[in-house]
Structures are given as structure tokens and as C-alpha cells.
Amino acid sequence: MSKTVSIRVSEEVHARLQERANREGTTVTALLTEAALRDPRLSDPASLVRAARWVSDHADEFAAAFPEEEPAARTTGARDAA
């Protein structure tokens, strides 16, 4: 069973939502539902822990592949000290 949620947005925001929905052949409700489902704060906590572990496990691979994206602390060996 679905529930109804009402929100207030400015006319400009509504127009942008409606324009995007029209462009994508969907509804404003579907756009907002999709956005809510992508919000990590609404995810299962266990899946967030698994994602964080995966990121940690693969950090060195990403650092090697994208060195220009690494924060300065990582490029100075901070990770190696841990």
C-alpha cells in the first residue's frame, strides 16, 4: 500500500520538476520517489557498512588509477602510516 506525502515547493521548483518529468516521460511523483530511494540516509544500515568497507578495501586501487583525485593527505603517505 502506498502513502501520500504532500510537500510545498516554489513555483520555479515545481516547473523544473514538471519539465524534467515531461522530458523523461514520467511523473513528478516518480522523480521524487526515485530521489528519495537514492538517498543513502534511507538505506539499510548494513548496506552502508558494506559499501564503506568496499571503499576502504579498494582505496589503493582508486588512488593508483586516479592520482589527481587524491586528497593531499593521501599523497603524502598518510595511508601508509596507518
Q: Give dist(CA 11, CA 38) in Å, integer.
A: 24
Give the model's pLDDT for residue 1: 80
- Which single residue is written with the C-alpha cell 515547493? 9
Question: Is residue 81 over pLDDT 70?
Answer: no
Residue 61 in grid coordinates: 586501487
Q: Give dist(CA 15, CA 77) in Å, integer.
A: 49
Find the helix or strand (DSSP H, E) in which 50 lies.
helix 45-57
User: Over the stretch 10-66, which tens digit does the pLDDT of each residue have?
Assistant: 999 999 999 999 999 999 999 999 998 888 777 778 877 888 888 889 889 988 888
pTM of the model: 0.51
Evaluate whether 18 touches 28 at the Cβ level (below 8 Å). yes
Give the model's pLDDT for residue 73: 53
